[in-house]
Amino acid sequence: MLDSEMEQRIIEISEGDKTALEKLYQAYRHVVFSLARSILSSESTAEDVAQEVFLKIWASAHTYRIGANPKAWIMGITRNAAIDAMRKTKYEMSTDEVFETDFRSQPSLEETVVNAMTLSEALHTLASDAREIVILRSLAGLTVSEVSKLTQTPLNTVYWKYHRAIKSLKLLIGKGVL
Amino acid sequence: MKNEELNEKLNELAKEETPEYWDKIESKLEDQPVSEETVIAFPSKIKFPLIKVASIAASFAIVAGAFFLTQGTPLDKKAALSNGVASESTTIGSSTLDKKIAEGSLMLPRMAKYKELPIAEIETLFNLKLDGKMTIPSGMKLEKALVYFTTDEKETPYLAQLTYTGANKKILNISISIKPEMVADDPKIIAQTEVAPVDPNDSVTSSDGSVTIPSDKVDPSAPTSGSEPGSAGSAGSAGSSEPGVAPDEPTGTGTISNDYVSDEYKKTIEGISVTFYTASSKADDYTSVYVNFEKADLLYDVSSENIEKTEIENLVVSFLK
């Protein structure tokens, strides 16, 4: 969905058009969910957050400023909601903990060549900040500078982490893991 | 594999792995109000937290203003240029845009409502002595303040805008918005500029990311160096009209290093004014010609209870005519 279309949907949502919200959901549900999932260790919590994001969009579409970046706006809401949820549930999502919790039993890269990984699993082989950057950049389609601003990470760091992360992902895909 | 292909692959996988949750949203929608404006009226209906936030925002802007007005260096043009934050440039924008911005109507175009208050009322409301906290360059005075409130939703920024006018009729706008959740969660207050809508006719972004105003958008009648004392020139036009001021060349372009400018900032640049020139007849009062984009502890040197705990993330200061 183009930014202009997305903006139009948001305007329609602000006017109470539920169909517009559903269209936005269809176009962006996976991006919202993936970003939430990248921050939260629990898939069910991520889904709750994703639902909450669209409810927030519904409730606050009027606060969207025309001409602002609609994707960045939605990603900002998602990120805030996920971080709030993380605080509430006391989930500390350092990379190490991710491995220790959800993916401790994950096989090594070599071992998984024959067993395909889910995207979520593949992304969780990345550090948490890199994971978030990949989703914002590759799924949400934000520019590096937008990712930098949203995540409050220096531009060069975003560049570096993004390129390193996609290199890893390409490796997984090249080996047929993804 | 190209990055585009990877992105496509990741999108496919994400779609496949994302559960459908529309039904749950829809069921919860029944209990949700339709999006609507929630504009807090001033001053009788304002609640304490909003006063607090607004007060912080206002004092924040005031001290920022004082800082910029009185301490042109080290955050001046020279510093900005040497840092690559800004480049030598002239003017940007159109008089219409500038006027709208000055009126506040461009800030939050769809839902913005603001209350324009006389200075005495502002002082009373915020329990501030505005004039007492500022050193205003000669000929300038605080004329009015625009305080915006939209909703108390977390993602909605609050905005305080103070407007100063000088004897020469120039206006200094300082717009700072504050994310309320930052106030709640962290003693630091993150401020950011509002983003004005972009008029594609007003500017273009070149392939290297620099922002350029087409020459045909520059007022050809704009005064240039050495123009008549007191002649104001057109808003958003190139060059300084003030006596004793060495203006930038009126080339009609304004460029900012791409490294420091996000797309959102570019919109700000394009919509407001990237650069401005001295508005004072005493050029040394404040000759800064820059827009600062750096997230930095720029204002830590300013003595203020609030400022000590405050971090300016982005700030746009613009002189309008």
Q: How does pLDDT run across B7-49, given as a tens digit for each residue?
A: 888 888 888 888 899 988 988 887 665 544 333 222 323 333 4
Domain of A170, in residue numbers: 94-178
Distance of CA B297 to the CA centre of its chain: 17
The domain boundary, picked from A91, A125, A153, lies at A91
Q: Is B252 left (phi over 0), alpha (psi -120 to 50) or beta?
A: left
Mean pLDDT on B191-207: 30
Asked if A113 has any chain B CB less than 8 Å from its own CB, the reply is: no
Mean pLDDT of chain B: 37
The answer to whether the Cβ–Cβ distance between B1 and A174 falls below 8 Å is: yes
Chain A residues with CB under 8 Å of B195 CB are 65, 67-68
Chain A residues with CB under 8 Å of B19 CB are 33, 47
Top-ranked range on mean pLDDT: pick from A53-67, B179-193, B295-309: A53-67
Chain A residues with CB under 8 Å of B17 CB are 30, 118-120
The residue among B267, B92, B59, B56 whose CA lies nearest residue A149 is B267
Chain A residues with CB under 8 Å of B21 CB are 29, 33, 47, 50-51
Check whether residue A87 and residue A102 sit in a common domain.
Answer: no
Asked if B261 has any chain A CB less than 8 Å from its own CB, the reply is: yes
Mean pLDDT on B178-191: 31
- Write down the ipTM of this complex: 0.78
Mean pLDDT of chain A: 79
Check whether residue A87 and residue A126 sit in a common domain.
Answer: no
Check whether residue A158 and residue A111 sit in a common domain.
Answer: yes
Percent of chain B with pLDDT over 70: 9
pLDDT tens profile B201-243: 333 332 332 233 333 333 322 222 222 222 222 222 222 222 2
Check whether residue A27 and residue A81 sit in a common domain.
Answer: yes
- Strand B114-118 and strand B204-205: the pairing is unpaired
Question: What are the C-alpha distances in Å from B215 to residues A26, A140, B92, B205, B238?
Answer: 43, 35, 10, 14, 10
Contact map slice: A 158-177 vs B, CB within 8 A: 166, 169-170, 173-174
**Residue in A62, A139, A146 closest to B111 by CB:** A62
The domain boundary, picked from A35, A64, A91, lies at A91
Percent of chain A with pLDDT over 90: 19
Lowest average pLDDT, out of A17-21, A158-162, B172-176, B178-182, goes to B178-182
Disruptive mutation site among B7, B152, B181, B262 for chain A (greatest number of A CBs within 10 Å): B262
What is the per-residue pLDDT for B259? Answer: 30
Count of the separate structural domains present in chain A: 2
Check whether residue A79 and residue A124 sit in a common domain.
Answer: no
**pLDDT: which is higher, B184 or B110:** B184
Residues 6+ apart with CB under 8 A from B83: B294
Asked if B110 has any chain A CB less than 8 Å from its own CB, the reply is: yes
Disruptive mutation site among A14, A63, A124, A125 for chain B (greatest number of B CBs within 10 Å): A63
Mean pLDDT on B167-192: 33
Flag whether pLDDT at B122 surpasses 80. no
pLDDT tens profile A3-43: 888 888 998 888 888 899 999 999 999 999 999 988 887 88
Asked if A130 has any chain B CB less than 8 Å from its own CB, the reply is: no
Q: Which two tokens stand for residue B264?
A: 């959102």
Let me know: does B268 contact B196? Beta carbons within 8 Å.
yes
What is the per-residue pLDDT for B32? Answer: 63
Check whether residue A35 and residue A76 sit in a common domain.
Answer: yes
Name the β-bridge partners of B161.
Answer: B146, B175
What is the per-residue pLDDT for B11? Answer: 86
The answer to whether the Cβ–Cβ distance between A65 and B11 falls below 8 Å is: no
Check whether residue A79 and residue A100 sit in a common domain.
Answer: no
What is the per-residue pLDDT for B52? Answer: 43
Check whether residue A61 and residue A72 sit in a common domain.
Answer: yes
Let me know: does B36 contact B113? Beta carbons within 8 Å.
no
Q: Judge residue B7's burial from the number of C-beta atoms within 10 Å of its C-beta, 0-12 exposed, 13-18 middle, 19 or more buried.
A: middle
The domain boundary, picked from A65, A91, A117, lies at A91
- Chain B closest-CA separation from residue A32 CA (Å): 9
Instruction: Please spell the DSSP secondary structure of B12-74, one letter per residue.
Output: HHHHHHSPP-HHHHHHHHTTSPPP------SSTT--HHHHHHHHHHHHHHHHHHHHHHH-TTT
pTM (2 decimals)? 0.42
CATH number of the structural domain spanning residue A82: 1.10.1740.10
- Chain A closest-CA separation from residue B98 CA (Å): 16
Percent of chain A with pLDDT over 70: 84
**pLDDT: which is higher, B138 or B222:** B138
Positive or negative torsion for Cα A149, A154, A155, A160: negative
Question: What are the C-alpha distances in Å from B202 to residues A4, A50, A166, B92, B195?
Answer: 19, 38, 37, 8, 15
DSSP, res A62: G
What is the per-residue pLDDT for A115? Answer: 52
Instruction: Please spell the DSSP secondary structure of B92-158, one letter per residue.
Output: -S-HHHHHHHHHTTTTSTTT--EEEEEHHHHHHHHT--HHHH--PPTTEEEEEEEEE-----TTPPE
What is the per-residue pLDDT for A40? Answer: 85
Mean pLDDT on A97-109: 40
Asked if B17 has any chain A CB less than 8 Å from its own CB, the reply is: yes
